[in-house]
Structure 1
Amino acid sequence: MEYYIGAWKKFAEFNGRARRKEFWMFLLFNFIVSIVLTLVDNMLGIMMLGSIYSLAVLIPSLAIGARRLHDTGRSGWWQLLYLLPVIGFIVLIVFFVQDSHDENDYGANPKMA
């Protein structure tokens, strides 16, 4: 939960680096919240809560994705690969699961801190 809250605290910070664990825990909690909101939407017969949450989490998701890519030595602009339907998603998954690089242009390795 601390990683999810930590990502929200740095919701518009595109500089720096994010560890693999921080990125994947944020995605896990984001997925759980989305499922819960979808169930609540379906029970209430409205389709608004999930949409509002999706819009609210868009910038934090892009920010933590950029920081994760920085951790692997890549620019955050690689997230534009999301626009390629299948291939882009697969390539980004491969980038996101790679281990942290040591010191790079984006700062020191967060594992060593």
Structure 2
Amino acid sequence: MDFQTAVRTCLKEKYATIDGRARRSEYWWFFLFVFLCNLVLGIVDAILFGEAQVLQGIFSLAILVPAVCVAGRRLHDTGRSAWWLLICFIPVVGGLVLIWWFIQKGEEGANAFGADPLATKA
């Protein structure tokens, strides 16, 4: 999956869909998109509003639902429930555990959360 496809999938096709599975490429390309947008909006905010993060705040609110949904689908791909996202509330350790799970290869074949996304595109 390429950058444009991942962003289109997360923002258009599966905006609020947590069902199913997301490949590593879908998750990480979308993560890069969010990071780059926040970087650009941070610069624009600094130029227009000084220290106020107006545009970044609006963007963050708009992107919250698809970001949580793609993270949940990514966990589904590794065989874990999306409820594991709540582990991020454990300082430092929770975030590190999530990153470790996000970089893991997904389960081969179908699992309890759906068909293998790599097998369906072959």
TM-score range, shorter chain: over 0.9
The superposition leaves residues 12-62 of structure 1 with CA deviations (integer Å, 9 ceiling, x where unpaired) of 001000000000000001100010001000000242100000111111110
1:37 aligned to 37, 41, 46, which one?
41
1:95 aligned to 97, 101, 110, which one?
101
- Whichever residue aligns with residue 60 of structure 2, its letter is S
Identity of aligned residues (%): 44
Look up the match of 2:7.
Answer: 4
**Runs of 4+ in structure 1 displaced over 3 angstroms?**
none
1:108 aligned to 107, 110, 115, which one?
115
What TM-score comes out, normalization by structure 2 length?
0.90
| Superposed counterparts of 1:1-113, under 5 Å | 1-9=4-12, 10-45=14-49, 46-102=52-108, 103-113=110-120
Where does the alignment leave 5 or more consecutive residues of structure 1 unmatched? none
What TM-score comes out, normalization by structure 1 length?
0.97
Alignment RMSD, CA only?
0.8
Q: How many residues align?
A: 113
Distance 1:60 1:85 in 2: 23
